Amino acid sequence: MLHFIYSLLIRLLLPFILLRLWWHGRKAPDLRNNWRNRVGFVPPVDGAVVWVHAVSVGETIAAGPMVRRLLAQKAGITILMTAMTDTGLAQARKMFGDQVQYAYAPYDTPGSIRRFLARVQPRILVIMETELWPNMIRQSRALGVPIFLINARLSERSARGYERVKGLTGPIMQSLSWVAAQAEKDAERFCRLGVEPSRVSVTGSVKFDVDIPANVHASARTLKAAFGNRVVWVAGSTHEGEDEMLLAAHQQVLAAHPRTLLILVPRHPDRFDSVADKVTRAGLSLARRSGSDEPTTAQVYLGDTMGELMMLYGASDIAFVGGSLITRGGHNPLEPAVWGIPVFSGPHVFNFETIYQRLREDQGVTMVSGASELAQHLVDLVGDPEARRASGERALAVVEKNRGALDRVVSGIIERL
Protein backbone atom coordinates (compact mmCIF):
# COMPACT_ATOMS: atom_id res chain seq x y z
CA MET A 1 0.00 0.00 0.00
CA LEU A 2 2.80 2.44 0.87
CA HIS A 3 4.51 1.73 -2.44
CA PHE A 4 1.23 2.36 -4.31
CA ILE A 5 0.76 5.68 -2.50
CA TYR A 6 4.39 6.65 -3.18
CA SER A 7 4.06 5.88 -6.91
CA LEU A 8 0.77 7.77 -7.14
CA LEU A 9 2.23 10.82 -5.44
CA ILE A 10 5.32 10.93 -7.63
CA ARG A 11 3.16 10.59 -10.74
CA LEU A 12 1.06 13.54 -9.58
CA LEU A 13 4.19 15.55 -8.80
CA LEU A 14 5.93 14.82 -12.11
CA PRO A 15 4.42 17.77 -14.07
CA PHE A 16 5.52 20.16 -11.32
CA ILE A 17 8.99 18.57 -11.20
CA LEU A 18 9.36 19.06 -14.96
CA LEU A 19 8.12 22.65 -14.64
CA ARG A 20 10.73 23.27 -11.93
CA LEU A 21 13.39 21.77 -14.21
CA TRP A 22 12.37 24.15 -16.98
CA TRP A 23 12.37 27.11 -14.58
CA HIS A 24 15.87 26.43 -13.23
CA GLY A 25 17.03 25.79 -16.78
CA ARG A 26 16.68 29.51 -17.51
CA LYS A 27 19.96 30.15 -15.68
CA ALA A 28 21.51 26.72 -16.22
CA PRO A 29 20.52 25.60 -19.76
CA ASP A 30 22.31 22.27 -19.36
CA LEU A 31 19.52 21.21 -17.03
CA ARG A 32 17.14 21.17 -20.01
CA ASN A 33 19.43 19.13 -22.25
CA ASN A 34 18.24 15.56 -22.77
CA TRP A 35 15.25 16.18 -20.51
CA ARG A 36 13.56 13.17 -22.14
CA ASN A 37 16.08 10.96 -20.30
CA ARG A 38 14.32 11.96 -17.10
CA VAL A 39 11.11 10.25 -18.16
CA GLY A 40 12.91 7.15 -19.46
CA PHE A 41 13.44 7.99 -23.13
CA VAL A 42 17.14 7.17 -23.49
CA PRO A 43 18.97 5.83 -26.56
CA PRO A 44 19.22 2.01 -26.56
CA VAL A 45 22.50 0.72 -25.11
CA ASP A 46 24.23 -2.31 -26.63
CA GLY A 47 26.36 -4.96 -24.98
CA ALA A 48 26.58 -6.23 -21.41
CA VAL A 49 25.53 -3.05 -19.64
CA VAL A 50 26.79 -2.18 -16.17
CA TRP A 51 24.60 0.68 -15.01
CA VAL A 52 26.47 2.90 -12.54
CA HIS A 53 24.28 5.47 -10.82
CA ALA A 54 25.94 8.36 -8.96
CA VAL A 55 23.62 11.14 -7.86
CA SER A 56 25.99 14.10 -8.35
CA VAL A 57 29.61 15.28 -8.49
CA GLY A 58 30.96 13.76 -5.29
CA GLU A 59 29.55 10.31 -5.98
CA THR A 60 30.76 10.48 -9.59
CA ILE A 61 34.31 11.23 -8.49
CA ALA A 62 34.12 8.37 -5.98
CA ALA A 63 32.92 6.03 -8.74
CA GLY A 64 35.79 7.01 -11.05
CA PRO A 65 38.49 4.58 -9.90
CA MET A 66 35.96 1.73 -9.71
CA VAL A 67 34.76 2.37 -13.27
CA ARG A 68 38.34 2.50 -14.59
CA ARG A 69 39.14 -0.77 -12.85
CA LEU A 70 36.02 -2.48 -14.19
CA LEU A 71 36.80 -1.35 -17.73
CA ALA A 72 40.33 -2.70 -17.39
CA GLN A 73 39.41 -6.04 -15.81
CA LYS A 74 36.11 -6.91 -17.47
CA ALA A 75 36.47 -6.74 -21.25
CA GLY A 76 33.30 -6.50 -23.27
CA ILE A 77 31.17 -4.57 -20.78
CA THR A 78 29.47 -1.27 -21.52
CA ILE A 79 29.40 1.21 -18.65
CA LEU A 80 26.35 3.48 -18.54
CA MET A 81 26.78 6.30 -16.04
CA THR A 82 23.74 8.17 -14.80
CA ALA A 83 23.33 11.13 -12.47
CA MET A 84 20.49 13.29 -11.25
CA THR A 85 22.34 16.57 -11.83
CA ASP A 86 23.98 18.31 -14.78
CA THR A 87 27.11 18.82 -12.70
CA GLY A 88 27.34 15.08 -12.06
CA LEU A 89 27.17 14.22 -15.75
CA ALA A 90 29.61 17.00 -16.64
CA GLN A 91 32.07 15.56 -14.13
CA ALA A 92 31.64 12.07 -15.59
CA ARG A 93 32.23 13.28 -19.15
CA LYS A 94 35.32 15.15 -18.03
CA MET A 95 36.67 11.98 -16.39
CA PHE A 96 35.83 9.37 -19.04
CA GLY A 97 35.21 11.04 -22.40
CA ASP A 98 33.96 8.42 -24.86
CA GLN A 99 34.98 5.41 -22.74
CA VAL A 100 31.50 5.15 -21.23
CA GLN A 101 27.95 6.17 -22.09
CA TYR A 102 25.87 8.75 -20.22
CA ALA A 103 22.28 9.61 -19.40
CA TYR A 104 20.28 11.47 -16.80
CA ALA A 105 18.71 9.03 -14.37
CA PRO A 106 14.96 8.77 -14.87
CA TYR A 107 12.60 10.21 -12.32
CA ASP A 108 11.21 7.44 -10.14
CA THR A 109 7.77 7.03 -11.67
CA PRO A 110 6.83 3.48 -12.70
CA GLY A 111 6.54 4.46 -16.38
CA SER A 112 9.83 6.33 -16.52
CA ILE A 113 11.73 3.46 -14.93
CA ARG A 114 10.01 0.89 -17.16
CA ARG A 115 10.94 2.77 -20.34
CA PHE A 116 14.51 3.27 -19.16
CA LEU A 117 15.05 -0.40 -18.30
CA ALA A 118 13.53 -1.56 -21.60
CA ARG A 119 16.03 0.55 -23.55
CA VAL A 120 19.10 -0.08 -21.40
CA GLN A 121 18.58 -3.72 -20.30
CA PRO A 122 21.33 -3.58 -17.66
CA ARG A 123 23.23 -6.69 -16.62
CA ILE A 124 23.79 -5.21 -13.15
CA LEU A 125 22.96 -1.96 -11.34
CA VAL A 126 25.67 -0.36 -9.21
CA ILE A 127 24.40 2.44 -6.96
CA MET A 128 26.87 4.74 -5.23
CA GLU A 129 26.28 5.46 -1.54
CA THR A 130 22.57 5.58 -0.57
CA GLU A 131 20.64 6.71 -3.63
CA LEU A 132 17.71 4.34 -3.12
CA TRP A 133 14.61 4.93 -5.26
CA PRO A 134 11.72 2.49 -4.71
CA ASN A 135 10.62 2.01 -8.33
CA MET A 136 14.20 1.86 -9.62
CA ILE A 137 14.99 -0.90 -7.13
CA ARG A 138 11.67 -2.74 -7.43
CA GLN A 139 11.57 -2.92 -11.23
CA SER A 140 15.26 -3.74 -11.60
CA ARG A 141 14.91 -6.59 -9.15
CA ALA A 142 11.76 -7.86 -10.90
CA LEU A 143 13.81 -8.19 -14.09
CA GLY A 144 16.47 -10.19 -12.24
CA VAL A 145 19.04 -7.40 -12.27
CA PRO A 146 21.49 -7.73 -9.34
CA ILE A 147 21.67 -4.46 -7.36
CA PHE A 148 24.91 -3.51 -5.63
CA LEU A 149 25.01 -0.63 -3.18
CA ILE A 150 28.64 0.53 -3.17
CA ASN A 151 30.40 2.81 -0.70
CA ALA A 152 27.19 2.60 1.28
CA ARG A 153 26.71 4.95 4.18
CA LEU A 154 23.72 5.49 6.43
CA SER A 155 23.68 7.96 9.28
CA GLU A 156 21.66 7.24 12.39
CA ARG A 157 19.38 10.14 11.54
CA SER A 158 18.68 8.70 8.07
CA ALA A 159 18.18 5.21 9.50
CA ARG A 160 15.52 6.50 11.88
CA GLY A 161 13.81 8.23 8.97
CA TYR A 162 13.74 5.01 6.95
CA GLU A 163 12.35 3.12 9.95
CA ARG A 164 9.34 5.44 10.04
CA VAL A 165 8.31 4.15 6.59
CA LYS A 166 9.60 0.60 6.91
CA GLY A 167 6.66 -0.69 4.91
CA LEU A 168 8.14 1.14 1.92
CA THR A 169 11.85 0.82 2.65
CA GLY A 170 11.85 -2.78 3.93
CA PRO A 171 11.23 -4.35 0.49
CA ILE A 172 13.88 -2.05 -0.98
CA MET A 173 16.49 -3.21 1.50
CA GLN A 174 15.55 -6.85 0.97
CA SER A 175 16.02 -6.40 -2.80
CA LEU A 176 19.68 -5.38 -2.53
CA SER A 177 22.03 -8.11 -3.73
CA TRP A 178 25.10 -6.75 -1.98
CA VAL A 179 25.83 -3.79 0.28
CA ALA A 180 29.49 -2.70 0.47
CA ALA A 181 29.33 -0.54 3.60
CA GLN A 182 31.87 2.09 4.57
CA ALA A 183 31.98 1.15 8.26
CA GLU A 184 30.60 -1.27 10.84
CA LYS A 185 27.98 1.22 12.02
CA ASP A 186 26.70 1.63 8.45
CA ALA A 187 26.50 -2.14 8.04
CA GLU A 188 24.57 -2.53 11.32
CA ARG A 189 22.03 0.11 10.26
CA PHE A 190 21.41 -1.55 6.89
CA CYS A 191 20.86 -4.90 8.59
CA ARG A 192 18.51 -3.21 11.05
CA LEU A 193 16.45 -1.97 8.11
CA GLY A 194 16.08 -5.39 6.55
CA VAL A 195 19.17 -6.24 4.49
CA GLU A 196 20.21 -9.85 5.07
CA PRO A 197 23.52 -9.89 7.02
CA SER A 198 25.02 -12.33 4.50
CA ARG A 199 24.61 -9.63 1.84
CA VAL A 200 26.46 -6.93 3.76
CA SER A 201 30.25 -6.46 3.78
CA VAL A 202 32.35 -3.76 5.41
CA THR A 203 34.76 -2.72 2.67
CA GLY A 204 35.70 0.77 3.82
CA SER A 205 35.21 3.91 1.74
CA VAL A 206 36.34 3.86 -1.89
CA LYS A 207 36.72 7.61 -1.57
CA PHE A 208 40.06 6.94 0.13
CA ASP A 209 41.16 5.36 -3.17
CA VAL A 210 40.72 8.65 -5.00
CA ASP A 211 43.19 9.10 -7.84
CA ILE A 212 44.28 12.26 -9.64
CA PRO A 213 44.58 11.89 -13.42
CA ALA A 214 47.74 13.25 -15.04
CA ASN A 215 45.83 15.91 -16.99
CA VAL A 216 44.33 17.25 -13.73
CA HIS A 217 47.83 17.45 -12.21
CA ALA A 218 49.05 19.37 -15.25
CA SER A 219 46.11 21.81 -15.24
CA ALA A 220 46.57 22.48 -11.52
CA ARG A 221 50.27 23.27 -12.00
CA THR A 222 49.48 25.63 -14.87
CA LEU A 223 46.85 27.52 -12.90
CA LYS A 224 49.03 27.70 -9.80
CA ALA A 225 51.78 29.28 -11.88
CA ALA A 226 49.28 31.83 -13.23
CA PHE A 227 48.50 32.94 -9.68
CA GLY A 228 52.10 33.97 -9.15
CA ASN A 229 53.92 33.81 -5.86
CA ARG A 230 50.81 34.01 -3.68
CA VAL A 231 49.32 31.82 -0.97
CA VAL A 232 45.97 30.50 -2.19
CA TRP A 233 43.13 29.09 -0.13
CA VAL A 234 40.06 27.50 -1.69
CA ALA A 235 36.51 27.18 -0.39
CA GLY A 236 35.00 24.28 -2.30
CA SER A 237 31.34 23.31 -2.78
CA THR A 238 29.88 26.26 -0.91
CA HIS A 239 26.14 26.67 -0.35
CA GLU A 240 23.77 29.56 0.19
CA GLY A 241 24.45 31.03 3.62
CA GLU A 242 28.18 30.24 3.61
CA ASP A 243 29.59 32.64 1.03
CA GLU A 244 29.18 35.76 3.15
CA MET A 245 30.91 34.05 6.08
CA LEU A 246 33.80 32.91 3.91
CA LEU A 247 34.21 36.34 2.34
CA ALA A 248 34.27 37.87 5.83
CA ALA A 249 36.97 35.38 6.80
CA HIS A 250 38.96 36.30 3.70
CA GLN A 251 38.79 40.00 4.57
CA GLN A 252 40.36 39.19 7.94
CA VAL A 253 43.08 37.19 6.20
CA LEU A 254 43.75 40.06 3.77
CA ALA A 255 44.18 42.44 6.69
CA ALA A 256 47.16 40.36 7.84
CA HIS A 257 48.35 39.00 4.45
CA PRO A 258 47.21 41.36 1.65
CA ARG A 259 48.38 39.18 -1.26
CA THR A 260 46.38 36.07 -0.27
CA LEU A 261 43.95 34.76 -2.89
CA LEU A 262 40.62 33.03 -2.23
CA ILE A 263 39.23 30.58 -4.80
CA LEU A 264 35.49 30.46 -4.15
CA VAL A 265 33.66 27.50 -5.75
CA PRO A 266 29.84 27.42 -5.36
CA ARG A 267 28.35 23.94 -5.39
CA HIS A 268 25.58 24.74 -7.88
CA PRO A 269 26.02 26.58 -11.20
CA ASP A 270 22.79 28.53 -10.85
CA ARG A 271 24.47 30.45 -7.99
CA PHE A 272 27.58 31.56 -9.92
CA ASP A 273 26.28 35.03 -10.80
CA SER A 274 24.75 35.72 -7.39
CA VAL A 275 28.01 34.73 -5.65
CA ALA A 276 29.94 37.01 -8.00
CA ASP A 277 27.63 39.85 -6.92
CA LYS A 278 28.34 39.06 -3.26
CA VAL A 279 32.07 39.30 -3.89
CA THR A 280 31.81 42.74 -5.50
CA ARG A 281 29.38 43.97 -2.83
CA ALA A 282 31.94 42.95 -0.22
CA GLY A 283 34.39 45.33 -1.89
CA LEU A 284 36.73 42.60 -3.14
CA SER A 285 38.23 42.45 -6.60
CA LEU A 286 37.03 39.49 -8.66
CA ALA A 287 38.29 37.28 -11.46
CA ARG A 288 36.14 34.53 -12.95
CA ARG A 289 37.41 31.17 -14.11
CA SER A 290 34.90 31.16 -16.97
CA GLY A 291 36.16 34.47 -18.37
CA SER A 292 39.42 35.93 -19.59
CA ASP A 293 40.07 37.80 -16.33
CA GLU A 294 43.68 37.80 -15.16
CA PRO A 295 43.86 36.26 -11.66
CA THR A 296 47.20 37.84 -10.76
CA THR A 297 45.79 40.88 -8.95
CA ALA A 298 42.31 39.63 -7.97
CA GLN A 299 41.46 39.02 -4.34
CA VAL A 300 38.82 36.38 -5.16
CA TYR A 301 38.91 33.90 -8.04
CA LEU A 302 35.43 32.51 -8.72
CA GLY A 303 35.39 28.85 -9.77
CA ASP A 304 32.35 29.19 -12.02
CA THR A 305 33.01 26.22 -14.27
CA MET A 306 31.77 22.65 -13.97
CA GLY A 307 33.87 19.60 -13.20
CA GLU A 308 37.02 21.47 -12.14
CA LEU A 309 36.85 21.43 -8.34
CA MET A 310 39.45 18.67 -8.03
CA MET A 311 41.87 20.69 -10.15
CA LEU A 312 41.18 23.87 -8.17
CA TYR A 313 42.03 22.06 -4.94
CA GLY A 314 45.35 21.12 -6.55
CA ALA A 315 46.10 24.74 -7.44
CA SER A 316 45.67 25.79 -3.80
CA ASP A 317 47.73 25.75 -0.61
CA ILE A 318 44.86 25.41 1.92
CA ALA A 319 41.31 24.09 1.55
CA PHE A 320 37.99 24.65 3.27
CA VAL A 321 35.24 22.11 2.46
CA GLY A 322 31.83 23.71 2.12
CA GLY A 323 28.36 22.59 3.09
CA SER A 324 29.63 22.39 6.66
CA LEU A 325 29.05 25.85 8.12
CA ILE A 326 25.34 25.27 7.55
CA THR A 327 23.35 22.10 8.26
CA ARG A 328 23.87 20.70 4.76
CA GLY A 329 26.07 17.88 6.09
CA GLY A 330 29.34 18.70 4.38
CA HIS A 331 31.15 17.39 1.30
CA ASN A 332 34.08 15.09 0.69
CA PRO A 333 37.25 16.28 2.52
CA LEU A 334 39.42 13.64 0.83
CA GLU A 335 39.42 15.54 -2.48
CA PRO A 336 41.71 18.24 -1.02
CA ALA A 337 43.45 15.84 1.39
CA VAL A 338 44.82 13.72 -1.46
CA TRP A 339 46.70 16.80 -2.69
CA GLY A 340 48.53 16.98 0.63
CA ILE A 341 47.22 20.41 1.68
CA PRO A 342 45.67 21.47 5.02
CA VAL A 343 41.94 20.76 5.22
CA PHE A 344 39.36 22.79 7.19
CA SER A 345 35.68 22.14 7.76
CA GLY A 346 32.75 23.52 9.67
CA PRO A 347 30.94 21.46 12.32
CA HIS A 348 28.11 20.00 10.18
CA VAL A 349 29.60 16.91 8.53
CA PHE A 350 27.04 14.17 9.12
CA ASN A 351 27.09 13.15 5.44
CA PHE A 352 30.72 12.04 5.83
CA GLU A 353 30.88 11.07 9.49
CA THR A 354 33.12 8.03 9.00
CA ILE A 355 35.63 9.86 6.81
CA TYR A 356 35.80 12.82 9.19
CA GLN A 357 36.24 10.48 12.12
CA ARG A 358 39.31 8.94 10.46
CA LEU A 359 40.72 12.36 9.64
CA ARG A 360 40.16 13.68 13.16
CA GLU A 361 41.78 10.64 14.75
CA ASP A 362 45.06 11.42 12.98
CA GLN A 363 44.78 15.23 12.97
CA GLY A 364 44.18 15.30 9.23
CA VAL A 365 41.46 17.96 9.40
CA THR A 366 40.81 21.09 11.46
CA MET A 367 37.19 21.68 12.48
CA VAL A 368 36.05 25.26 13.01
CA SER A 369 32.82 26.61 14.45
CA GLY A 370 32.54 29.67 12.22
CA ALA A 371 34.18 32.29 10.04
CA SER A 372 36.17 34.02 12.80
CA GLU A 373 37.80 30.81 13.97
CA LEU A 374 38.54 29.83 10.37
CA ALA A 375 40.13 33.24 9.73
CA GLN A 376 42.39 32.90 12.78
CA HIS A 377 43.71 29.54 11.57
CA LEU A 378 44.16 30.84 8.03
CA VAL A 379 46.12 33.88 9.19
CA ASP A 380 48.48 31.59 11.09
CA LEU A 381 48.94 29.12 8.23
CA VAL A 382 49.37 31.69 5.46
CA GLY A 383 52.37 33.06 7.32
CA ASP A 384 53.86 29.67 8.20
CA PRO A 385 54.87 27.45 5.22
CA GLU A 386 56.26 24.74 7.50
CA ALA A 387 52.96 24.45 9.40
CA ARG A 388 51.11 24.20 6.06
CA ARG A 389 53.42 21.42 4.93
CA ALA A 390 53.01 19.45 8.17
CA SER A 391 49.22 19.79 8.19
CA GLY A 392 48.97 18.74 4.55
CA GLU A 393 51.17 15.71 5.16
CA ARG A 394 48.90 14.58 7.99
CA ALA A 395 45.85 14.85 5.72
CA LEU A 396 47.53 12.87 2.93
CA ALA A 397 48.75 10.22 5.41
CA VAL A 398 45.14 9.49 6.41
CA VAL A 399 44.23 8.93 2.76
CA GLU A 400 47.16 6.56 2.22
CA LYS A 401 46.48 4.69 5.46
CA ASN A 402 42.90 3.88 4.50
CA ARG A 403 43.30 2.89 0.85
CA GLY A 404 42.23 -0.60 -0.22
CA ALA A 405 38.44 -0.46 -0.31
CA LEU A 406 38.51 -0.22 -4.11
CA ASP A 407 40.16 -3.64 -4.48
CA ARG A 408 37.55 -5.22 -2.20
CA VAL A 409 34.65 -3.55 -4.01
CA VAL A 410 35.78 -4.40 -7.53
CA SER A 411 36.51 -8.00 -6.53
CA GLY A 412 33.08 -8.25 -4.90
CA ILE A 413 31.32 -6.93 -8.03
CA ILE A 414 33.20 -9.25 -10.40
CA GLU A 415 32.57 -12.27 -8.16
CA ARG A 416 28.86 -11.56 -8.20
CA LEU A 417 28.48 -10.85 -11.92
Catalogue the active-site residues: 59
Positive or negative CA dihedral for 109, 125, 165, 4? positive
DSSP 140: H
DSSP string covering 369-392, please?
SSHHHHHHHHHHHHT-HHHHHHHH
Positive or negative CA dihedral for 122, 123, 129, 131? positive
| Phi and psi torsions of 82, nearest 5° | -125, 155
Please give the order of strands across the beta sheet that includes 300-302.
286-288, 300-302, 261-266, 232-238, 318-321, 343-345, 366-367
Where in 251-297 does DSSP place strands (E)?
A: 261-266, 286-288
Between the alpha carbon of residue 179 and those of residues 174, 248, 270, the distances in Å are: 11, 43, 34
Instruction: Tell me which H or E stretch contains 344.
Output: strand 343-345
At 156, the amino acid letter reads E
